[in-house]
Structure 1
């Protein structure tokens, strides 16, 4: 992603192709509810036929969120927090 700052590239390399999702991929995911519209970054821990399990990373190392399997997975706000 370009345009993240003054001539800087985005520090993340996202996989936006759900057909090629694999464990360890970095994804941009969305959250429903009051957090809708904000982009989040996570790592895929599990990849299933119709859903994925996402780790939000260092800020919450033990958290695991179930998301839809689409270009930018959607996590239900009820799973957060």
Structure 2
């Protein structure tokens, strides 16, 4: 997916998601393996409320592919779950 489309797809209706996804896109996404990049594209098709709940550890996605990319985002944006 071209960078411009990724940028606009990562701009969401919630400021909180913009603050998570845009730095992730800039700093982490370029070095992801292709499979994880494709998972990110799939993530961008999800609803904002779902993504926000996943990122703040309120819920987890049922889809294992989405869970993997959510875990990567959490680990690289300071949103990992404290145990």
TM-score, structure 1 normalization: 0.25
Q: TM-score normalized by structure 2?
A: 0.25
Higher normalized helix content (fraction of residues):
2
Instruction: Between the two structures, name the one with larger relative contact order (CA 8 Å, sep ≥ 6).
Output: 2
Structure with more of its chain in strand, by fraction: 1
